[in-house]
């Protein structure tokens, strides 16, 4: 697939977020969602990823289910990685779908849902 502009990619991410049910949006507490080209080496090392592993999105923070005395902290961060998503998609329609899946997947981590449960749910 041909690369799209960062602005167009950020719009896809924003549309994926806006498409979420209000009950989820209302509970996105202290979370920033950003787009980046690629994960950093530090992110890859922290998650013990090999050069062949692909990272489409990343949640960095404290899940709602793990928060006890939670205050005066930096926002959690969800990063959606443009270049890996573009490289796996055949066309823009596929990219739109994969961005939506990735956004839902990372927001689910914010709600305390782990990868095993996400896979059971089809994500």
Mean pLDDT per segment of 10 residues, for the chain of length 123 residues?
94 96 86 96 92 94 81 88 96 96 94 87 75
Query: Into how many domains does the chain fold?
Result: 1
pTM of the model: 0.90
Whether the Cβ atoms of residue 75 and residue 32 lie closer than 8 Å to each other: yes
Q: Give the other-Cβ count within 10 Å of 78's Cβ.
A: 25
Residue 79's DSSP bridge partners are: 34, 58
| Coil/strand/helix, residue 63 | coil
1 within domain boundaries: no
60 within domain boundaries: yes
Q: Provide the residue range defining the domain that includes 28.
A: 6-120
80 within domain boundaries: yes
The confidence score (pLDDT) of residue 109 equals 92
According to DSSP, residue 26 is labeled T
Residue 34's DSSP bridge partners are: 79
Phi first, then psi: give them for residue 89, nearest 5 degrees: -100, 145
47 within domain boundaries: yes
Please count the CA atoms within 13 angstroms of the CA of 13 that sit on its side-chain side.
26
94 within domain boundaries: yes
97 within domain boundaries: yes
């Amino acid at each position: 697939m041909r690369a799209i502009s960062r602005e167009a990619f950020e719009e896809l991410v924003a549309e994926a977020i806006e498409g979420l049910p209000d009950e989820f949006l209302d509970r996105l507490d202290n979370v920033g969602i950003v787009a980046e080209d690629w994960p950093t080496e530090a992110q890859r090392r922290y998650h013990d990823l090999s050069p062949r592993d692909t990272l489409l999105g990343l949640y960095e923070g404290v899940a709602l289910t793990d928060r006890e005395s939670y205050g005066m902290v930096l926002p959690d961060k969800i990063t959606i990685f443009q270049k890996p998503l573009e490289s796996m998609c055949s066309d823009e329609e596929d990219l739109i779908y994969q961005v939506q899946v990735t956004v839902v997947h990372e927001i689910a981590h914010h709600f305390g849902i782990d990868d095993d449960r996400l896979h059971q749910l089809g994500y």
